[in-house]
Structure 1
């Protein structure tokens, strides 16, 4: 591989810190808890980014969601610009941007700008789901045909990639259009505007993106945290479909996993229940702020609701630090994941921040890495 290709491969694979079996990263949803505001949530995101950077996590992603009061991450590019201003070395990216919601040129411009702000630190994770309900997706896309948007994903991805690389062939209707900032070829001074471009990842919770990522030789991230039953089959499909590319010479798969550690296991479970109740309300058409631990503990679940919540919590690694470490290690062993992207979906900002500190401690990560 060329030097630039090796640099990209290193940025994807990262460095294992302490005694972790694979690199550990963070997925933050800018969770808005009851009694708190979006401003509080976004301030917490900055604190999480700083913690992730100083404790040795490899990257931090934010995810595009819409029309969800308990999630303040509707605009990943804006949040990532803010996080880039408060970090120096941490990789930052989208986990993910929902490509069918946007024109490829707009995404290329947004993430080209981020790459110019934080060279060599930006990941562009892409999904094909709407990240919201059908009505909101229609409002975003200005179209009622949601299936068409998903079916168009490979074409949109190819177009976005060409904008990022500025390599539309001669005669193409977009050949004279440049995503700026970006590597504009043949510029007046013979140079380029940016020495690098964002690393593209494909994200998914089924086999479609797994197969496509493999065929294109791209890194793949699977949403284990809300589609655990499909994790192993999807990763197998990705690896079986993989073809070496200029980006990767062998497969690289991360998985998103919900995990929350606390000194007191009961406190961890109380926080986890807040996220589970928030998800129950979302899945039953009642989205709202993430409830407090007290509200979640007092909630009277119907038998069907209790079944959903118990099933959800089964896939959340929680407890004291040693228990969480053991659960994460077991997940790596069962799935063969190359990286874990940990999300702490809970009400209380301090509990979420403390969880990342405790997980870092459990793996013997450095206490304070200089930026």
Structure 2
């Protein structure tokens, strides 16, 4: 069971966690990106971050996280204590039974430390979503999310009522094999829909502040207003995803995050590719419209030295009342991302390499 409302480690006001897109930089390979993901997860475990999540994306050459369950199985084999999860699995892309089987298997691999975060967007463009869903599933999508969620929950709990068409179907591994428990469900969102649904169902909620900052406070307010206590939670628990990158010098931090900004420009204009190098991003001549987009994008990233990033994170937590901050550090190379998490851990006084959490 996740001690969801436990105390933060070190001097952090709330638990700090990691969201990794397993980005692939230009001149690098998916193999290298996944190895970096393992390094980040192990660093996060060593330094006292609470959880490490990966996000489902498709048809994006610069993001190697198209299959969260496969990645999480690999990460489970290389870690011992940190919570691992999806931030998230896009439920409309999959049959609920398949997700229940995948995450039941993960729970069997790493008992008590798997989270199942669910989103209702496809995590890609329309054509790729159609390729994922096929045949009759083309008619299903975000509008059917509550029904899909209810079906997935029943598979996870193995409690379809007598007479239901699925009453004799069991997600294995799962409760049918004993009291092993099952991964806690989180709802993810960037608007009010999932906020309201999470509140109504009494589930923990994760908001994508890192790409929808203007909706953060309204969505969190809606979640708290609609929250009903449940068997899962007595009170609301809201996590927000935050784009943040720390470096030894402020200029270097900005140089690194510019690579992610250029990646987003190319993605939004139908030209997705590998994450460019800092040199390529600095030399790129942005059009006036692109520059306006980039300036807005960078304004939503907390960047700078370790102390500057800590100050920005603390301010954001106070403004939003978030119960947990999940930091995503997007840059071309793994070294910059690893250094960022080390610096942030140092700034908060999180455990060092020889001071492991119990």
TM, length-normalised to structure 2: 0.98
Which residue, 186, 203, 206 being the options, matches 1:201? Answer: 186
| Match among 12, 16, 39 for residue 24 of structure 1 | 16
Q: Which residue of 2 aligns with 1:211?
A: 196
In the other structure, the counterpart of 1:180 is 172
1:308 aligns with 2:293: yes
Look up the match of 1:63: 55
Determine which of 60, 68, 83 is the counterpart of 2:75. Answer: 83
Structure 2: distance between partners of 1:286 and 1:23: 36
Tell me if 1:220 matches 2:205: yes
Written as runs of structure 1 = structure 2, the 5 A alignment for 1:250-329 is 250-329=235-314
Q: Number of aligned pairs?
A: 356
Shift of 1:275: 0.4
1:188 alignment partner in structure 2? none
* CA distance in structure 1 between the aligned counterparts of 2:140 and 2:77, rounded to whole angstroms: 37
1:1-371 pair list within 5 angstroms = 7-8=1-2, 10=3, 12-143=4-135, 148-184=140-176, 192-193=177-178, 195-368=180-353, 369-370=355-356
Partners of 2:5 and 2:322 in 1: how far apart? 11
Give how far 1:196 is off: 1.4
Distance across 2 between alignment mates of 1:175 and 1:15: 40
Instruction: Report if the CA contact (8 A) 2:92-2:140 is conserved.
Output: no
Q: Deviations over 1:32-70 (max 9, x none)?
A: 000100001000000000000000000000000000000
2: CA distance between counterparts of 1:144 and 1:293? Answer: 44
Cα distance between partner residues in 2 of 1:194 and 1:313 = 47
What is the deviation of 1:18?
Answer: 1.1
Deviation at 1:194, TM superposition (A): 5.1
SS of match in other structure, 2:141: helix
In 2, Cα distance between the equivalents of 1:312 and 1:144?
Answer: 37
SS in 2 for 1:60: strand
Aligned CA distance change for structure 1 residues 300 and 146 (closer, same or farther; 3 Å): farther
- Structure 1: gaps (5+ residues): 1-6, 185-191
Alpha-carbon offset, residue 332 of structure 1? 0.2
Aligned-partner SS, 1:13? coil
Aligned equivalents of 2:345 and 2:24: distance in 1?
Answer: 24
> RMSD between aligned alpha carbons?
1.2
Q: Does the 8 Å contact 2:48/2:356 carry over to 1? A: no
Change (3 A) 1:143 1:237: farther
Q: Which runs of 5+ in 2 are unaligned?
A: none
Deviation at 1:103, TM superposition (A): 0.1
Q: Residues 224 and 257 of structure 1 are in contact (CA less than 8 Å); yes or no, is this contact kept in structure 2?
A: yes
Q: Deviations over 1:300-322 (max 9, x none)?
A: 00011000001000000000000
| CA shift for structure 1 position 15 | 3.4
- Would the aligned equivalents of 1:64 and 1:76 in 2 still touch at CA under 8 Å? yes
SS in 1 for 2:175: coil
Distance 1:329 1:43 in 2: 30
C-alpha deviations, 1:150-196, integer Å up to 9, x for none? 11100000000000000000111101000000001xxxxxxx34511
